[in-house]
Amino acid sequence: MAFEGLAERLQETMSKIKGKGKVSEADVKTMAREVRLALLEADVNFKVVKQFVNRVKERAVGQEVMKSLTPGQQVIKVVNEELTDLMGREESKLEQAEKPPTVIMMVGLQGSGKTTTAAKLANYLRKEKNRNPMLVAADVYRPAAIDQLNTLGKQLNMPVYSQGTEANPVDIVREGVEQAKAENHDYVLLDTAGRLHVDETLMEELQGMKDAVQPDEVLLVVDAMTGQDAVNVAEHFNEQLSISGVVLTKLDGDTRGGAALSIRAVTEKPIKFAGMGEKIDQLETFHPERMASRILGMGDVLSLIEKAQTNVDEERAKELEKKMRNADISFDDFLEQLEQVKSMGPLEDILGMIPGAGKMKGLKNMQVDESQIGRVEAIVRSMTKAEKQDPKLMNASRKRRIAKGSGTTVQDVNKLLKQFEDMKKMMKQMSSMNGKKKGKGKGGMQLPFMR
């Protein structure tokens, strides 16, 4: 990645100060500058950064940090707390109309992902909340926008209301909501055309649509990669339409997503959802406290834990942990682990969530080749039961058979066996390390599917 996380930067600054025993005001200033740069690099708007850094400085000079023995960590803690305060702590829910249907209107710039998000949200409402939503295609400007929503509707088997591209968007949404009422849908999602926040004519049109249907939610859809201009966009849309919340899209990219902070600061409206991928079910409730860590480059530990929890059987995990501690793991366990990791989603996503993964030797810039996992799996599955339990059985003819069975070469089999042995050794080391000395070498661990 192009930039390092704030945690690393502060650590670096601190190592220069280390040994002085005391942190001076000038040191706090240096640290404040690091905080400032980190936030700016994360695309947080400079005005927001300024206010923010001033608040952090106040608290830092206010002895909280200077007296501490670990000032670097203290600054991170203060920054994290302030960030979380700014982002809001609570997840916020969708509004619900007293009398159905609840009308949700999606607005935003071109290419921010309104149509995809509308479909994802509809899917979410039906799947997670047991609702019966309907989609309305009111983007009459972009070529084939209506086709796009229709296709998504077909995929989801969900009704899409449209009147073609000749109709007036205000009429489309009015009649769309009427139809939803008549067909007893409890949610209506309005997809509108992307527009520039400074395009007066089109912004007025949005206002007209809003007046016509009185939506319960006006969600501003924003690309997480947006730069400094995010404040302008959010301010304009909020002033003219009084938005009720924000959806942050493309958060599965490698952007820090500082725009989230900027938008939150200027509109004080909650971010309600985050788009996490191109698949229709990749929409998540937005967790503000996790975003704070991400902006700072501290990893998304909570999301990782949550992913692991939903995918891993706890009993089995305990059993496995015991085995690992005794370095008594077999290829069967290995295969099971592999399956679990795979079920947690793309490996790169998972690695991205591990704090410090960027710092670990070998993990930085590491690319995971998912097809390699398939090969490893094939090799293991070509082993006999006995071989899986006791790799020591392996000899040349067995290896040849396995290579043939898995469509790989003997070299591949050898490589895997070697890596498996290394892994066992690592486990042994780790468990003997436990409690005694904290290990220095983390870099040696190499899983078979890492390149």
Q: Tell me which stretch binds another protein (CB under 8 A): 37-45, 99-107, 180-188, 323-331.
A: 37-45
Please count the other Cβ atoms lying within 10 Å of the Cβ belonging to residue 111: 12
Place of tokens 């042995």: 421
Classify 354 as helix, strand or coil: coil
Comparing CB distances to another protein, the nearer of 89 and 154 is 154
Closest CA to 241 of 200, 204, 187: 204
Site membership for another protein, residue 8 (CB under 8 A)? no
Cα torsion 254, 256, 260, 261 to 10°: value is 180
User: Please, what is the minimum distance in Å from the beta carbon of residue 118 to another protein?
Assistant: 12
How far is the first Cα of the chain from the last one, in angstroms, to the nearest whole number?
A: 17
Residues 138-197 that bind another protein (CB under 8 A): 141-145, 147-152, 155, 196-197
Does 86 show up as a binding residue in the annotation? no
Q: Residues for the chain: how many in total?
A: 451
Q: Is 168 exposed, middle or buried (0-12, 13-18, 19+ CB in 10 A)?
A: middle
Among 8, 229, 306, 422, binds another protein (CB under 8 A): 229
Among 16, 128, 198, 318, binds another protein (CB under 8 A): 198
**x-or-dash string of contact with another protein, 283-322, rule CB under 8 A:** ----------------------------------------
Among 81, 85, 171, 254, binds another protein (CB under 8 A): 254
Q: Using CA atoms, how far apart are residues 451 and 445, in angstroms rounded to an integer?
A: 12
Among 191, 216, 217, 223, binds another protein (CB under 8 A): 223
Cis preceding linkage at 101, omega within 30: yes
User: Please, what is the minimum distance in Å from the beta carbon of residue 196 to another protein?
Assistant: 5
Please count the other Cβ atoms lying within 10 Å of the Cβ belonging to residue 51: 11
Please count the other Cβ atoms lying within 10 Å of the Cβ belonging to residue 242: 12
Looking at the DSSP bridge assignments, the partners of residue 220 are 107, 246
**x-or-dash string of contact with another protein, 346-375, rule CB under 8 A:** --x---x--------------xxxx-----
Q: Tell me which stretch binds another protein (CB under 8 A): 84-92, 251-259, 382-390, 414-422.
A: 251-259
Among 226, 293, 303, 406, binds another protein (CB under 8 A): 226
Does 114 show up as a binding residue in the annotation? yes
Query: Measured on CA atoms in the order 432, 437, 438, 441, is the torsion positive or negative?
Result: negative
Does 251 show up as a binding residue in the annotation? yes
Report how many residues bind another protein under the rule CB under 8 A: 57
Write out the two tokens for 214.
Answer: 């009185």
Comparing CB distances to another protein, the nearer of 134 and 156 is 156
**x-or-dash string of contact with another protein, 84-123, rule CB under 8 A:** -------------------------xxxxx-x--------
- DSSP calls for 27-53: HHHHHHHHHHHHHHHTT--HHHHHHHH
| Amino acid letter, residue 273 | F
User: Please, what is the minimum distance in Å from the beta carbon of residue 40 to another protein?
Assistant: 5
Q: Name, in order, each residue with C-beta under 8 angstroms of 172's C-beta and a sequence gap of 6 or more.
A: 136, 137, 138, 140, 161, 162, 163
Distance, C-alpha 274 to centroid of its chain: 8
Among 6, 7, 42, 417, binds another protein (CB under 8 A): 42
Contact set with another protein (CB under 8 A):
1-3, 37, 40-43, 45-47, 50, 109-113, 115, 141-145, 147-152, 155, 196-198, 223, 225-230, 232-233, 250, 252-256, 258-259, 278, 348, 352, 367-370
Going by the annotation, the residues of the binding site are 108-115, 191-195, 249-252
Going by the annotation, the residues of the binding site for GTP are 108-115, 191-195, 249-252
